[in-house]
Amino acid sequence: PQYFWNAGSTGSSELVALRATEIGDEALKKMVGRAAAYGDLDNDGDVDIVLVGNGGPARVLRNDQKLENNWLRLKLEGTGKSNRDAAGALVTVKAGGVTHRRYVTAARSYLSQCELPLTIGLGKVTAIDEVSIRWPDGQTESVSELEINREHLLRQGALK
């Protein structure tokens, strides 16, 4: 498997050369990959990965870093003309002078599904300035003052 690091504002990704001491032996074993999915499996604010190889067992790569960075998780629920899972919604989070944009997507990898809630890493930022959502039906809503380091359920039409 190859692992890429999101290089942030440059818009590029960098191939990461990892050692078993950093990621574990299982994560670096060669495989014929068939599926990859991510999600916060242990509800601690960092994203974990599940890999599945051809004819082999799933490999769960739990992200247990202790950086003490802050995070925000958003679970969207569409109503009306938008689909209930809010697939296609664009979420913009402004915090600490940085703008994060994420789409809610229904599919990511062959024969797999990543979780629908969005996880936004905030680093040392301690407050959210604003969260804006452009729902699949085109409606736009915003909310501010969301508590960090937890998941929020945001329902279309019910935002302050």
pLDDT tens string 73-131: 999 999 978 999 999 999 999 999 999 999 999 887 788 889 999 999 999 999 999 99
Sheet of 130-134: strands edge to edge? 98-103, 90-95, 130-134, 140-143
- Regarding pTM above 0.85, the answer is yes
Specify the 3-state DSSP secondary structure of 73. strand
Looking at the chain, the whole-number percentage of residues with pLDDT higher than 90 is 59
> Which of 5-14, 15-24, 140-149 has the weakest average pLDDT?
5-14
pLDDT at 154: 97
